Every structure is written in structure tokens, then in C-alpha cells.
Amino acid sequence: MTSSSKIKTNDFETFNIEDEIEFSQVVSDGRRLLESKAEYHTEEWAWTAELDDGGIFIFCYLLYDFKQKILSLHRLKESVYTLNLLRHKMLPSHEKTGLPLLEEFQVIFTLYERLKHEEMSWEDCEQYIMEQISTHRRTN
């Protein structure tokens, strides 16, 4: 292995570690928020206890729209579950996409922002995600 390929590998590993640290920090902050604020301790917020780390990450992103009254509580819950499902079902594995963790979420968030303005079929969503993955690959 040449020294330049070692550097690229180390840079990629450093980038992935930084991604994972940032992801973990957002998830940790989201869980802390849900645990510490009394407003989230009601029955209508109980669904958040079921979220995996990816769901918490998505929740944190969508919480801004909820606080801006773009999403109702019902739509927030529905959107978090839907985007998490799309992430699990539509995004190919990391090995196939080669995208760092945060870029995988960026693909989902870009889809969400588009869905706020137009309805798309499941097939259109899949096509859009594949286009976004290709764009991310080309730009990195």
C-alpha cells in the first residue's frame, strides 16, 4: 500500500469517526431533552421512548419544524416513523453506498424537505434517494 492510499484511508476513518461522534452527540442531546423536559413526559409523547438512535436523530431534525408549527404533534410522530422507515428500507447498506453516516441522513432529510412541498409516490421517493446518493458520491 502506498503512503497516499494510507493517508486516504486514515482521512476516511477520521471522517467516519467524526461523523459518529457528531451523530452520537445529537442522539445523546435528544434523549437528554426528552428525559429532562416535563412537557415530553406526557402520554402523547410516549412514542418517543420507542425510537432507536436513528429515530432520535430524525426527531431532533424535525423538532424544529414542530416548534415552528409546520408540523403538528401527530404529523411529527408520523414523519419521524416514516423517515426512519424510509432510511431502513430505501437506503442501500453503507457498504453499497459508501456514504458516511451523516450523509445518509442528509439524503433522507433532503427527501423530507422535498416532501414538504410535493407529494411523491414510493417509487418516486426511491428514485429521488438514488439520485441523491449519486450526487453525494460525485461531490465527495
Structural domain boundaries in the chain: 3-139
Tell me how far apart the alpha carbons of residues 62 and 88 are, in angstroms, rounded to a whole number.
18
The model's pLDDT over 90-126, given as tens digits with 9 standing for 90+, comes to: 887 777 777 888 888 999 999 999 988 888 888 888 8
The predicted pLDDT at position 140 comes to 64
The model's pLDDT over 30-87, given as tens digits with 9 standing for 90+, comes to: 999 999 999 999 999 999 999 999 999 999 999 999 999 999 999 999 999 999 998 8
Read off the pTM. 0.81
Radius of gyration of the chain (CA): 17
Measured from the Cβ of residue 111, the count of other Cβ atoms closer than 10 Å reads: 21
What single string gives the DSSP state of each residue in 73-122?
Answer: HHHHHHHHHHHHHHHHHHSPPHHHH---HHHHHHHHHHHHHHHTTS---H
